Every structure is written in C-alpha cells, then in structure tokens.
Structure 1
Amino acid sequence: MNPANRLRLPIQGILLISLIFLVSGLSLAQEVTEKKPKKERKVSIVPLPAIAGDPTSGLILGIAPAFSWTMGNPETTSMSTAIGLGLVTTKRQLYTSLRSNAFLNDDAYTILTDFRFNINNQPTYGLGTKIWARPWREIPPTEEVNDLQKEMIFFRHVRLYGIVMKRFQDSRFFYGLGYHFDNMFRIDDRSLDLEVSPPELTFHEVYQRERNLPTTAYKQSGLSFNAVYDSRDNVANPYTGKYLYASWRGFAEFLGSTSNSGTLWLEYRDYFSLSKNRPRNILALWTYAWSVTNGEVPYMFLPAVGWDMFARSGRAYTQGRFRGEDVVYSELEWRFPLQKNKERFGGVLFANTSTASSRGEDINLFNHFQMGYGLGLRYMVLPKRRINIALDYGFGIRGESGIFLNVNEMF
C-alpha cells in the first residue's frame, strides 16, 4: 500500500468499502460547510475517512483531511491548501503527514511545507524501467519474469521540508530558498540473507555497498534554490493557467547528510480548455524530470515515481515502483463534467508513462518506458473553492493495478 496522500487499495473487496466511506466523507464535508451557508468560513475542511487492507499492512484505518483558506483579499490572494494524513494498521504501522501550499496576502510570498513521520514499508524492484534479471541474482534469461518478485524494505522515515519564495514584482514568478531534511532509520531489508552461501543480496544492499554507503540508516540535509511560475486560476483544481517549477537541492555532510550530493527537479503543468461553455472540460498535462546532479544519493532517496511532494505520480503502481538516478514522468488527463448543467460530478480518463535510468547497469533514460492508465470519478464537495474528492482505478504492466482515493485534483 502507498499511504501518502493517495491510498492504494487492493482490488478484491475494497471498492465497495471505499465507496461507502467516500459517501461518508461527503456527508461530513457537507455538514461542515452548510451549517452557516450565508457566511463563508475562513478555513474549509473536508474530513475524509479512510479504510483499506492488504497482506503487508493488515487492516488500515485513519483520516485524510484537506484544508483550504485564503490569507488576504480573495481578489488578489490565491487560495492556500493543506492535506493531512493519519493512518494506523493492525501490523503496528503508522503513517502521518501534513503538506501545504500557502500564499500570503496579495501573493507576496508562497510557502511550501512537507512534514512526515512514517513507520513504513514498501516493495522495491531495483533501478531503471527495463525489466530484466540483475547479474548478481543469477536468474536465467528465460526466467526474466521472476525478477519482478518484490523485495520488501521496512523503515522509519522523518521528513522536514520548508520552502519560502518571494513574488517578483507583479508577475506570477516566485523565487526563494528552502531547507530539506530526510532521515531513514531502522531499515530492515527483509529479502537480504547474508548467512547462506552464496549470500542472497538485494537491490538495496548491492547499491549501498558499491558506493560505500550505510545500509541500516542514512540522512539528507541541505538547502535548495527554487523558482516557480504559477498562473493557475485555482491551486486545488485548475481550469486554466500554467505551472513551472525548478528546484536544485544540495546536501552536505557538514549539515548532517550521510553523503555530499545534489539533485535537480524540473516540472511543468498545463491546462487546455475543450469547451468555452464548460470550463471543467479540459485536458491536463503534467511532466517532471528528477535527476542526481552530483555525488552519491542513498538508495531510498533516489528519484522515484510516487515520491513527488503530494505522492500523486504513478497511478496504477505502488510508491517507488520505478526508481533510478534519473526519472522522467509524464501524464495526460481528460477531465469532464458528468452532469448536463451542473458541476458537482465529474469524470477523468488518464494515461501516464515513466522512464528511469540505472547508471551502474548502463540503463539509459528514455531507452525503456512503462505505462499506466485508468479512469476515475470526481465529486466537487466545496463548489466555491472547487475542492474535489477523487476516486481512481489504475492499470499497469503485468497485471499491476489499484484504487486511489484523494482530495483535490491529481495535479
């Protein structure tokens, strides 16, 4: 399961439960917003409950609330949003996070925050998007499919991110600095067995050994230089505008990092209207490139699909399904209303593609692509703020699939 903002649920028996709790969430949100219909609340809350289950986590219960507010004149100040998460499982796992995108009065500054503490686990499949047998595993080429067996890694993760950017004059361009801290500790590589002969190594173990990096705990701590152009008409559910974001992060040992390294993030989003009369009928495009620019980055901190800030990329797959020193991800989504004259209910069709490199194995970026596709439903629970609750079903390679429950649009 990927518990970050999107909830990846197993297919059998969960769809009905998800729909029941989706309706429950809608009812609660309606109650919050309709108590005082004549006076708009300063902070709107969508208290979305969550329930799921899988063999790794057992029964999963919790809440994923979404918040929206405006910190200034609504005519000149963009809406701020935040999404929380609190989940517990019957196998003693805990997932908590609070992520926000806030705008100060007149959009003078924008502030991004990402705080997490997780007692987590997830499968890993090695680096790159080429599906093949790694040489140290001694798997015959005719048994290539066996290489898809997941290697489970259990770990604890603390994240503290903060970025402050200042608006340039009256433009929609922002620039500024950030601080980024990640701590992965108590790493338990469950597929690793060093007691047998020969030892049964894992992707994580081999990668860390080759770079003389620790295998049970590591940290990243560093500063970032950031620039954003954001002309979206609504952060939570855009109909028009563009979003371009560039961020270079430098991690240094003297700041507490396990190793010196740098990464570059480049992102582009755009929205194309398909109907003058129905602004909700649009094509939405999202693409990002994430690359290691220098130094040695520990395995779990490498660029990976699903590890974007709001964990929205890679629908159809678990978080971290495709990982490498370089990752490029693209997604196209058609969003459309399902009612003739109203905007409450909507639908989406989407397709995405991922490519990742493995420099040590000569797997180059753009040599291999993996696809995902699917469809989903939308319910606009707060029409004035265009806040959606989303339920998507995604399909991937070799039978991988999942249901994804979210608040706000995917991008």
Structure 2
Amino acid sequence: MRKALITIYLIMVCICISFTAKSQEEGRKVNIIPFPVIATNPTVGFAYGVSPGFTWHMGNSQNTSMSSIVGALVYTTNQQLLFSVRGNTFLEGDKWNIMADLRYQMTSQPTYGLGTGSGSIHPIVNNDYGYSERHYLKKHQMMEYDLIRAYMTGLRRYEDTRFFYGLGYHLDVIYDIDDHLLNLDTIPQQITQHYRYNRLKNFSTTGNTVSGVSLNLMYDSRDNIANPYSGRYAFASWRINPKFIGSTQNSSTLWLEYRDYFNLSEERPRHMIALWTYGWFVTSGNLPYMNLPAIGWDMFSRSGRSYTSGRFRGEDLVYTEVEYRFPLQRNSDLLGGVIFANTTTASSRTENINLFQNINLAYGLGLRVMINKKSRSNVNLDYGWATNGSQGLFISLNEVF
C-alpha cells in the first residue's frame, strides 16, 4: 500500500515539473530563483538547504496570470528532512488553474493539546484518559513522524469572469509516529494529548490516512500571485474523506479563505495594508489528531508567524493576519518593510473549548528584498513574538500572502 502511495506522489511531482518543461519548450521564459535556505524558527531549529522558486507564463502575459511554484529540500538541526513542491499554474488565457501541494517529510513537531487559551497548555492526563488528575509539564509534547502529502486541484474559469470552479484530490499519510512523552509502563501511565484523542476517536496512535475529494470555488483578481499590489482572493473548499477511497474513517471538512489588499499611495503601490483570514472546520465525522485544523498547515505553511507549526490545533480554527507593507527607499522597490499581527482561535469539542472563547495574539516586523523586479519575487526575513512567549525568525520566498 505504501509503495502505491509513493508512486502516486512521484507521478504528481512529475506532472508539476512537466508544466515547467512544457513552458520552456514553447519558448516561454521561466524565471528561476535558486534560493538557499539558512533559517531558524521554533519548528525546525536551524535549517539548511535550497528552496528554488519558478515563475512563468503559460500564455500571453496580457491575458494569462503568472504561474508560480516553490520547491524545497531542507535538512534541519532537529534531524528533519523536508521535501516539497507547491504552487499555482495558470494555463493559457487563465482557462484553468492547477494547484499542487506535494510533500514528503521525515520530521518532528511539538504538540500542545487542542484549542486555544489555558486549556491547551500541554497537559498529560491519567485515569482512563479523563481529567481527575492533570500534570502540567514545563515542556511541549514532541512527536516524530513521516508524512506523504499529495494534493492536486483543477479549477475551470467561468466565462470571462475571475471566478473558478473545480475538483481536487487530497491524500495525507502520516505514519511511524513516535510520541516521545507517551509511557504506558509507568503507574500512573503518562498519556499524551495525541494518544488520548486518537484512542477516544478510535484512531491508531502510530499512523493514519486521510484520502478525499473536494468541491472548490475560487475568485482571484490579484495582479500578481507572488507579490500582490491589488485585487482580492477568496477560496472555498468542501472536502469529503470517505473510507472507500482510503481514509481511516469517514469525515468532511470546510475551508473558507479571504485575502484583500488596500493601497495607501497611488504613486507607490507597494505601500499598502494586506489582510488574510481563513476558517477551517471539521463538518462531519472525525479526523486523526495530526490531521485536525492547525496553524502552519495551510498550503504554503505561512500562517502562525511567531509560533511553531501546529502550535494551535482543534476541530475548528479561525486565523486572521494584518500586515502593513511599505517601501524603504524613495525611488526604488528593492527594499521594503512590514509590520504584522495575527490572531488564532481554535476549538476542542473533546475539551469543551469553544471557538472564539480564547484568542491568541502574535506580532512582528520584517524586511523584504525584491530579487526579481519583473516577477516581484521577494526574500522575506521576519521576526515575530507571541503573547505566550513564543518567538522566532522566519525566512521565505515570495510574499507571505
């Protein structure tokens, strides 16, 4: 079964590469940014590797939006190996938009329980997974696992509008889970949140599969997907994960996302306020613990600056971020700056934590270096702080949103 899943994954990687190769064969220029990765944040420790970016047009640039793919091959001091290919491809005349999110990771991640607020302060619980005893740890609950992700979505443009509609297939296989703090041999047993939740919901504690199809609607009027100066973006995706196509259990989820850009200067369009918000909800059935909505698990892993990936997780999650962007030079767009703030709220039906009951805040600032003026590709260096004491340096390619 695992060999078949890896084969599917490699086929999808080849499909993404073929779009780039086709563009080159037809004489269309592909801009390649061989971006080296030397970064640090709470999830990876220190990371070393490459994250090349590719931008091109599949047709006339007057009526075809820019396509963009970002790859990554990274090794970290937390002994993580991360490989990914993620991006959007617009076919000629924007008749179709192909979205891909492909990953293979041998990785680790701390978990902190479910929901936001005081209820998510990484408890270990005892006595048949109940709460008659609770021990609060001074450290998170670290887990090691392997991940195969293969998402592919095809969206058809509706007539001459900027509306798109289409179908997608989504596969997540998380396996070889090593829950470091779990110890069933002690008295009382040390039960982690991951173990407790998965046992309550009848999932395996060592690995699970979520395989589903999605119905998708999108509106995209952004002038540039790598670094928008104007337009707006809205995306809705209802995903159904039935057992008969490979999911461990039946479930469904809903993703709702909106982005907007408000210019503050006609002469300097880079001077703006940008808004990003999304909601991610389990609408039926149950998902394994590691597949529940969480910050940092969006397509490009950009949400939750200041936090480790997966710091907040729950059956329902709403994330909002506002960013003030501005040029740092009077007559050049080479250098820019940002000031950002984000909020996260997550629910936990098993822990009786409601959505919007608790809201966690983070903020920070960053530097932008435009390394390709035509495609507006940026190198981003951001440092963020959170009200719970989390902080970190985040380095990425292209605007965060």
Query: TM-score by structure 1 length?
Result: 0.86
Distance in 1 (alpha carbons) for counterparts of 2:200 and 2:256: 28
TM-aligned CA distance change 1:110 to 1:259, over 3 Å: same
Give the superposition deviation at 1:137: 5.6
User: 2:219 — aligned with what?
Assistant: 229
User: 1:35 — aligned with what?
Assistant: none
User: 1:37 — aligned with what?
Assistant: none
Amino acid corresponding to residue 316 of structure 1 in structure 2:
S
Query: Aligned with 1:360: secondary structure?
Result: coil
Structure 2 contact 39–395 (Cα < 8 Å) conserved? no
Q: Which of 150, 165, 173 is the aligned partner of 2:163?
A: 173
1:185 aligns with 2:175: yes
CA offset digits 1:146-200 (Å, max 9, x no partner): 4562000100000010000000000000000000001000000001000001100
Runs of 4+ in 1 over 6 A off after TM superposition: 53-58
Distance in 1 (alpha carbons) for counterparts of 2:124 and 2:172: 31
Distance in 1 (alpha carbons) for counterparts of 2:105 and 2:67: 25
TM-aligned CA distance change 1:275 to 1:56, over 3 Å: closer
Query: Aligned with 1:300: secondary structure?
Result: helix
Query: Aligned with 2:51: secondary structure?
Result: strand
Amino acid corresponding to residue 203 of structure 1 in structure 2:
Q
User: 1:12 — aligned with what?
Assistant: none
1:50 aligns with 2:37: yes
Query: Aligned with 2:306: secondary structure?
Result: coil
Mean CA deviation greater in 271-280 or 86-95: 86-95
Mean CA deviation greater in 208-217 or 145-154: 145-154
Q: Which of 58, 62, 79 is the aligned partner of 1:75?
A: 62
Distance in 2 (alpha carbons) for counterparts of 1:288 and 1:54: 23
Distance in 1 (alpha carbons) for counterparts of 2:164 and 2:107: 34
What runs of 5+ residues in structure 2 fail to find an aligned partner?
1-26
User: 1:342 — aligned with what?
Assistant: 332
Structure 1 contact 163–176 (Cα < 8 Å) conserved? yes
Distance in 1 (alpha carbons) for counterparts of 2:178 and 2:37: 27
User: 1:15 — aligned with what?
Assistant: none
TM-aligned CA distance change 1:329 to 1:76, over 3 Å: same
Q: Which of 95, 100, 120 is the aligned partner of 1:108?
A: 95
Amino acid corresponding to residue 61 of structure 2 in structure 1:
P
Distance in 1 (alpha carbons) for counterparts of 2:182 and 2:124: 16
TM-aligned CA distance change 1:285 to 1:60, over 3 Å: closer
TM-aligned CA distance change 1:135 to 1:95, over 3 Å: closer
1:93 aligns with 2:80: yes
Distance in 2 (alpha carbons) for counterparts of 1:98 and 1:147: 36
Q: Root-mean-square deviation (CA), in Å?
A: 2.0
Give the superposition deviation at 1:89: 3.9
1:273 aligns with 2:260: no
TM-aligned CA distance change 1:125 to 1:135, over 3 Å: closer
Distance in 1 (alpha carbons) for counterparts of 2:107 and 2:124: 29
1:136 aligns with 2:143: no
Distance in 1 (alpha carbons) for counterparts of 2:397 and 2:233: 19
Give the superposition deviation at 1:135: 8.1
Structure 2 contact 108–145 (Cα < 8 Å) conserved? yes
What runs of 5+ residues in structure 1 fail to find an aligned partner?
1-39
Give the superposition deviation at 1:302: 0.2
Structure 1 contact 79–103 (Cα < 8 Å) conserved? yes
Query: Aligned with 1:200: secondary structure?
Result: coil
CA offset digits 1:196-241 (Å, max 9, x no partner): 0110000000000111111101001110000000000110000110
User: 1:328 — aligned with what?
Assistant: 318
Distance in 1 (alpha carbons) for counterparts of 2:274 and 2:64: 23
User: 1:366 — aligned with what?
Assistant: 356
CA offset digits 1:79-105 (Å, max 9, x no partner): 000000101246653110000101000
Amino acid corresponding to residue 331 of structure 1 in structure 2:
E
Query: TM-score by structure 2 length?
Result: 0.88
Give the superposition deviation at 1:342: 1.0
Distance in 1 (alpha carbons) for counterparts of 2:55 and 2:165: 23
TM-aligned CA distance change 1:135 to 1:66, over 3 Å: closer
Give aligned pairs, total. 368
User: 2:389 — aligned with what?
Assistant: 399
TM-aligned CA distance change 1:375 to 1:161, over 3 Å: same
